[in-house]
């Protein structure tokens, strides 16, 4: 029997997608790290990217179309449940709402040559970061030339003794440029889109998953693709020599002020 080339291609794509996601999404290991928020090239006005997910719904983590201002059949069903006078229906509807997770592009200090990573965090860390930015004593900590690094301390749930991990942040007092290397600037310029790291399910695909969840005896065809999809990883480039800050200033202008 001849080999199924299409099946091999699909398997290769799935493996490449998982590798790409692992390379571009940063989850801090237990311990202390230092990062720098960098401009999001695909939307330079705001590096904070709010994404909404249905976690472990019908065995999948689903990126909600609500992230892009599009209708989501699970959200529509949740709203119908909440509109009833039944308390249990309201609770179920509330539980079906997608959870927000914010992503921001960062450089990991000491690993700048790996390029831009996307750091994902919840509402608490998001509010803390926005609080620093709106504090006149700190200002725009994401500014390429006059921003500030962030110390991130991550504790796993095994270390916290709780059912969840903990992340704490401290913003550095010193103002510094995000890099003095033109090679690193090039990596920042070539960062992927956050939407390239997660599969976007269509309305029909999500509705099929919803119907299968509501009627498990009826098995509509579910999406066959993995939740992630391939993205072009940043080109690796080792810094050959450290350029002076003043020599890089013009590069900031050309990269971020177009």
Band (157; pLDDT cuts 50, 70, 90): confident
Distance CA 244, CA 180 (A): 6
Query: Which letter does DSSP use for residue 113 in this model?
Result: G
Asked whether the predicted pLDDT for residue 231 surpasses 80, the reply is: no
Band (100; pLDDT cuts 50, 70, 90): very high
Q: Which positions ≥6 away from 20 have C-beta within 8 Å?
A: 197, 228, 230, 231, 233
Quick one: pLDDT at residue 160?
Answer: 82
Quick one: pLDDT at residue 218?
Answer: 56
Mean pLDDT taken over the chain: 84
Tokens of 232: 């072009």
Tell me the DSSP string of 57-100: ETTEEEE-GGGGT---HHHHHHHHHHTSS-HHHHHHHHHTSPEE
pLDDT tens, residue by residue, 184-198: 999 999 999 998 899
pLDDT tens, residue by residue, 124-137: 999 999 999 999 99
Asked whether the predicted pLDDT for residue 243 surpasses 80, the reply is: no
Tell me the DSSP string of 145-181: TTB--EEEEEE-HHHHTSSS-EEEEEE-SS-B-S-S-
**Taking residues 198-208, what's their average pLDDT?**
93
Band (23; pLDDT cuts 50, 70, 90): confident
Band (177; pLDDT cuts 50, 70, 90): very high
Measure the CA angle with vertex 49, ends 43 and 51; round to 5°. 135
Which pTM does this prediction carry? 0.75
**% of the chain beyond a pLDDT of 70:** 76
Q: Which domains does the chain have, with CATH numbers?
A: 18-256 (3.90.198.10)
């Amino acid at each position: 029997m001849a080999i199924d080339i299409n099946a091999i291609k699909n398997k290769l794509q799935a493996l490449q997608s998982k590798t790409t996601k692992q390379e571009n999404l940063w989850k801090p290991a237990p311990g202390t790290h230092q990062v720098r928020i960098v401009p999001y090239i695909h939307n330079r006005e705001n590096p904070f990217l709010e994404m909404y997910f249905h976690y472990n719904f019908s065995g999948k983590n689903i990126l909600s179309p609500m992230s892009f201002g599009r209708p989501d059949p699970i959200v529509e069903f949740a709203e119908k449940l909440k509109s009833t006078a039944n308390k249990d229906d309201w609770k179920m509807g509330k539980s079906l709402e997608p959870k927000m997770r914010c992503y921001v592009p960062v450089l990991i200090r000491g690993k700048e040559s790996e390029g831009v990573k996307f750091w994902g965090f919840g509402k608490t860390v998001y509010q803390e970061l926005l609080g620093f930015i709106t504090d006149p004593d700190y200002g725009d900590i994401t500014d390429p030339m006059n921003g500030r690094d962030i110390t991130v301390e991550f504790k796993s749930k095994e270390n916290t003794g709780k059912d969840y991990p903990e992340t704490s942040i401290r913003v550095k007092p010193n103002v510094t440029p995000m890099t003095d290397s033109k090679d690193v600037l090039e990596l920042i310029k070539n960062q992927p889109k956050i939407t390239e790291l997660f599969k976007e399910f269509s309305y029909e695909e999500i509705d099929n998953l919803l119907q299968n969840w509501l009627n498990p005896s009826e098995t509509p065809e579910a999406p066959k693709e993995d939740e992630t999809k391939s993205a072009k990883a940043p080109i690796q480039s080792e810094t050959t020599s450290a350029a002076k800050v003043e020599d890089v200033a013009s590069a900031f202008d050309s990269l971020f002020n177009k």
